[in-house]
Amino acid sequence: MSCAAGVRDAEAWQPEGGAGNAAKLARMYRRLALFALTAALWTPAPSFAQSAAPTPPALTATEKTFVRAIQTILTKRYPTPAAARKAGYVRFTNEDDTGAISYADKQWNSTSEARPSQLWYDVNGRLLGADYSLLADGRASPPSLFGIDPSRFSEIGAHIHFVVRNPDGSLTYSREVGIKKYAAAGLNPAHPTAAGLVKAGAVDSPDRVATVFLFPHIWDATVWVLPNPNGAFADKNPNVKPSHTPARS
């Protein structure tokens, strides 16, 4: 069985590029909050591949300009999760070990600094950072986007995210199902549905699915909007302490 055109399966990938890339892979894995427990319950966790180019330790001049711009623009446009939701972003993860909860706009080509593909907030609704991405189809190497050094981008394989509605009305985030598993049920992973998740064995009723979407094959760069003494493209931010408690919004 084959996946739809333009959908590259994350499950088939293996990390490349040694320790430096392994650190980047770990950062992206955390940012998407594909937790080991969730993976064990639902499907094998995806592995992500990316460029082997070394990442510059310090920001370039164009990156400094970019970071200053988004700190102003994003803080004004999306100061809270409510503002993000109003703009069309959908929450899909729990808090990860960097303290971030991710919201996606499900538009994976970032055409403007003012419209990242993802926004992250802490459990109190403070804006932390953003992802900027481009669809990877036809792009064999990391892109150049908004002055971000290409080595900042990680290549992420396609997978399907969904959010479960519980009987008490609460929501369970950070659920995912692999492309292979979804396609094995005779379904088109490019257009996942609640009914399809039932057929793939991921949920027991379509009524329990609050959100489902394809996270496609992309090149993705993560950047802190909240000032970070370790640098805007660093893995973690010492100014953010994960709470490990449910988010308020």
The percent of residues in the chain predicted with pLDDT above 90, rounded, is 73
Whether residue 159 has pLDDT greater than 50? yes
Residue 3 belongs to some domain of the structure: no
The percent of residues in the chain predicted with pLDDT above 70, rounded, is 75
Residue 232 belongs to some domain of the structure: no
Q: Compute the average pLDDT of residues 64-85.
A: 98
Residue 34 belongs to some domain of the structure: yes
Residue 240 belongs to some domain of the structure: no
Tens of pLDDT, residue by residue over 170-179, are 999 999 999 9
Burial grade of 89 (CB within 10 A; 0-12, 13-18, 19 or more): buried
Whether residue 90 has pLDDT greater than 70? yes
Total-model pTM: 0.81
More confident position, 8 or 183: 183
Q: What is the mean pLDDT of the chain?
A: 83
Tens of pLDDT, residue by residue over 116-153, are 999 999 999 999 999 999 999 888 999 999 999 999 99
Within 13 Å and on the Cβ side, how many CA atoms surround 196? 24
Whether residue 249 has pLDDT greater than 80? no
Q: Which domain holds residue 187?
A: 10-224
Whether residue 3 has pLDDT greater than 70? no
Query: Total structural domains in the chain?
Result: 1
Tens of pLDDT, residue by residue over 9-56, are 555 433 333 333 333 444 454 454 333 333 333 333 343 444 334 556
pLDDT of residue 183: 97
* φ and ψ at residue 150, rounded to 5 degrees: -55, -30
Tens of pLDDT, residue by residue over 187-200, are 999 999 999 999 99
Residue 30 three-state SS? helix
Per residue in 204-220, is it b (16+ CB within 10 Å) or e — as a string? eeeebbbbbebbbbbbb
Residue 190 belongs to some domain of the structure: yes
pLDDT of residue 10: 55
Residue 239 belongs to some domain of the structure: no
Residue 242 belongs to some domain of the structure: no
Residue 218 belongs to some domain of the structure: yes
* φ and ψ at residue 74, rounded to 5 degrees: -70, -35
